[in-house]
Amino acid sequence: MKTFALSPGDAERARPDVAGFFDPRTFSIQYVVIDPATRRCVIIDPVLDFDEKAGGTATLQADALLEYIEQEGLEVEWILDTHPHADHFSAARYLHEKTGAPTAIGRAVTRVQAMWKEIYHWPELSDDGSQWDRLFDDGDTFRVGDLEARVMHSPGHTLASITCVIGDAAFVHDTLFQPDFGTARADFPGGCAHQLWHSIQAILALPDDTRLFTGHDYMLGDREPQWESTVREQRETNKHQVGACGEAEFVALRQGRDHELPMPKLILHALQVNILGGRLPEPESNGRRYLKIPLDALDGAAWE
């Protein structure tokens, strides 16, 4: 199975190198996005390994990113999560401790924190986003070496989802999948199919040859994992016809599909870690860490 691919860039054309790392356990893609001129980079959506059966944690995926970064002589400038993930733990905090690079996420994470603070009955949780070094607003910019990066608020899949555009590459998290798989679900707490439609249209308004990198791939038809497409490909060939159908048609399709889907198996495990920027719960008096799982908190989800 292909678990790594490099999409080459071009320093003269402000095109980043994009190294994608596929995690078969969670079907997630992690990215190291590199300015070819300066060898500075940003890590996007890193995975902290978790075995829900044994309750075990590990840093295998994150350490593979660090090994690649050292091997290529890169300097990490940012560690970015595109949203609070529901299907894997974030390794942002671990990588911050290893590299010293600042962590960032979209500012609307505070709304996600406030919502899950109630679900978890967690009154002591600070829901001001202070767990990250920077909160990005729509339209904010930052730099990766000589490359300018721009943030688009892309709600719908979650309240806090952002798209990060770096040169000619856009990291579209779970808003769009590969064209043969379609689009992201919008039925998580705070999700909205109408918002998702408008976020997709904003992404499709980028230049046709913009490289789009998605957050997951589920290998339709047992093909090899894929995670790169272009705006033109998505507009013309996406399974959910995002370039042709209208909002009402898309919303009906998305809501009908979402009604059939079970919740991700790690959503209740992962959110309590990810709304803390990837921090695991503090050890209790016996030295062990514990997750808190609310019962019957996600009404209406399909059962497997």
Q: What are 158's strand-pairing partners?
A: none
Beta-ladder partners of 179: none
Which of 85-89, 191-195, 299-303 shows the lowest per-residue confidence on average (mean pLDDT)?
A: 299-303
How many Å separate Cα 224 from the centre of its chain? 20
Q: Where are the domains of the chain?
A: 4-274
Residue 55 near residue 40 (C-beta atoms within 8 A) = no
What is the rounded distance in angstroms from the CA atom of residue 114 to the CA atom of residue 190? 11
**CA separation (Å) from 247 to 182, 219, 241, 252, 261?**
15, 27, 11, 9, 21
- Evaluate whether 124 touches 282 at the Cβ level (below 8 Å): no
Query: 23-34, pLDDT tens digit by residue?
Result: 999 999 999 999
Residue 17 near residue 43 (C-beta atoms within 8 A)? no
Q: Which two tokens stand for residue 294?
A: 């609310």
How far is Cα 205 from Cα 231, in angstroms, rounded to an integer?
8
pLDDT by residue (tens digit) across 178-197?
999 999 999 999 999 999 99
| Mean residue pLDDT across the chain | 97
Does the pLDDT of residue 300 top 80, yes or no? no
> Is the CB of residue 247 less than 8 Å from the CB of residue 25?
no
How are beta strands 103-106 and 134-136 bridged, if at all?
Answer: parallel
Q: Out of 3.60.15.10, 2.60.40.60, 3.40.50.300, 3.50.50.60, which CATH number does the structure's domain 4-274 have?
A: 3.60.15.10
Euclidean distance between CA atoms 168 and 80, whole angstroms: 18
Rama region for 73: left / alpha / beta (φ>0; ψ in -120 to 50; rest): left
Q: What is the pLDDT of residue 114?
A: 98
| Mean pLDDT (whole number) for 250-257 | 97
